[in-house]
Amino acid sequence: MLRNLGLRVTVPRLKALEYVQTHPHADADAIYTSLALSLHGVTRQTVHGIVNDLTRVGVLRRVSLPESASAHYETRIGDNHHHIQCVSCGRIEDVDCVVGEAPCLTPEDTHGMRLVEASVTFRGVCAECEMRNMAHEALQPSIPLTQSHSHARTSPAPTSSTIQAKR
Amino acid sequence: MLRNLGLRVTVPRLKALEYVQTHPHADADAIYTSLALSLHGVTRQTVHGIVNDLTRVGVLRRVSLPESASAHYETRIGDNHHHIQCVSCGRIEDVDCVVGEAPCLTPEDTHGMRLVEASVTFRGVCAECEMRNMAHEALQPSIPLTQSHSHARTSPAPTSSTIQAKR
DNA sequence: GCCTTATTTTGAATTAGTCAAAATAAGGGA
DNA sequence: TCCCTTATTTTGACTAATTCAAAATAAGGC
């Protein structure tokens, strides 16, 4: 499978591929953690090398989402499907098909660029986070008038750091 | 303007805002470089604090694009416009949304999530890069059969590092 | 003009990822 | 099957983007 793409078949590559197949949208760190369990010497660099190679030959697809600092990988390629991500916990799901105005997917003005791809990312709030946020709001019914970034934090706001922590 | 959003009006904030207004899609580092010219003590942390605050109150919009490691900021908010980015040089342009309001597209299956927004990102190749790439192809007409990530690089491939270098 | 407290500054840490050289191992050819 | 070439992995250092926390500063309501 890898061989006729010009890549040698190695244990780390196969394990990484298997992991992404069973864990769609895994990031490099998750793959590393998984590989480290069975192989003793693997490092993050190895994983980065692998995902870069596999992405280049088209076995993996790299997905960058606004709520995640790290790139995610998936084996489902070829169908240009999209993603929906919870802005609160970072959960990612596939979206097979979108409905809406076609013009939204064909820009009127490309500013002289040749279009390669249109990727749609939906940002949402998953049921669990919605629930959790409601509970919080019940305790803090009104929006404070003043709030700063470093002090006077209103709540343990589920920012991207929370998302990272979920890994 | 900032005052009735619960934020104090400070010189760094005003300068940062002014810079983003005149330089749409600026990233934190570009803002920092600009501020450092006129203000002597500003640091990157200050800029991050500012853009975080201004984004939170809705004066700025944070834009994360696949080809850029860093976040970009813009003052054009409220109209739900999209972006097209050159995959080669990282240049970003606005693409107007025909619908104009938040979710201009909706997924067939939201996987139980409440939809917040559909962000559409177009990836393309700008005219200049197209030109440059053609010149390169003329020199290297065929794709090598085997290629690795660390050695045997085919060309100074315009990856994201190239984009970073543009800053 | 003072005082509270939001902002900025200072300094250190974290996360994601890259680069390069040395060691290892895949797999085509003898 | 063994050897040799060279792709891949390992080792180690490094960069970029961003965050965290405590101390110093300054906005703006009184």
What confidence score (pLDDT) does residue A139 get?
60
Instruction: Check if B55 contacts A (Cβ < 8 Å).
Output: no
> Please, what is the angle between helix A11-22 and helix A28-38, to 10°?
120
Q: Note whether A52 and B148 are within 8 A (CB).
A: no
What confidence score (pLDDT) does residue B152 get?
41
Distance CA A88, CA A137 (A): 15
Distance CA A48, CA A60 (A): 12
What confidence score (pLDDT) does residue A100 get?
75
Band of pLDDT at residue A4, cut at 50, 70 and 90: confident
pLDDT surpassing 70 at residue A154: no
Nucleotide in closest CA–C1' contact with B159: C18
Q: Is the ipTM of this complex over 0.85?
A: no
What confidence score (pLDDT) does residue B98 get?
73
The pLDDT > 70 percentage for chain A reads 80
Beta strands A114-125 and B72-74, pairing class: unpaired
Distance CA B66, CA B98 (A): 23
For domain B1-77, the CATH class is mainly alpha
Reduced 3-state DSSP string for B59-87:
CCEEECCCCCCCCEEECCCCCCCEEEEEC
Q: What are the structural domain ranges in chain B?
A: 1-77, 78-140+158-167
Residues of chain B with pLDDT under 70: 100, 102, 137-167
Band of pLDDT at residue A140, cut at 50, 70 and 90: low
| Placement of tokens 């990312």 in the chain | A121
CATH dotted code for A3-124: 1.10.10.10
Residue B12: CB less than 7 A from any atom in strand C: yes
Rounded to an integer, the average pLDDT of A64-86 is 92
Residue B67: CB less than 7 A from any atom in strand C: no
Nucleotide in closest CA–C1' contact with B8: D27
B10, B116, B17, B123: which is closest to B73 by C-alpha? B17
Instruction: Check if B108 contacts A (Cβ < 8 Å).
Output: yes
What confidence score (pLDDT) does residue B55 get?
96
Least confident of A87-91, A109-113, A160-164, B26-30: A160-164
CA A143 and chain centroid, separation: 30
A117, A122, A4: which is closest to A62 by C-alpha? A117
* Other Cβ atoms closer than 10 A to B157: 11
The pLDDT > 90 percentage for chain A reads 57
Instruction: Check if B4 contacts A (Cβ < 8 Å).
Output: no
What confidence score (pLDDT) does residue B97 get?
82
The arrangement of strands across the sheet holding A72-74 comes to A26-27, A72-74, A61-63
Distance CA B15, CA B17 (A): 5
Give the tens place of pLDDT for each residue, A12-70: 999 999 999 999 999 999 999 999 999 988 999 999 999 999 999 999 999 999 899 99
Protein CA B97 to sugar C1' D23 (Å): 47
Q: Which nucleotides of D are covered by protein (CB under 7 A)?
A: 6-13, 16-23, 26-29
Q: How distant, in Å, are the alpha carbons of B35, B83, B128, B134 from that of B71?
A: 17, 13, 24, 30
Q: Pick the residue with more confidence: B126 or A104?
A: B126
What confidence score (pLDDT) does residue B153 get?
38
Helix or strand holding residue B116 (H, E) = strand B114-125
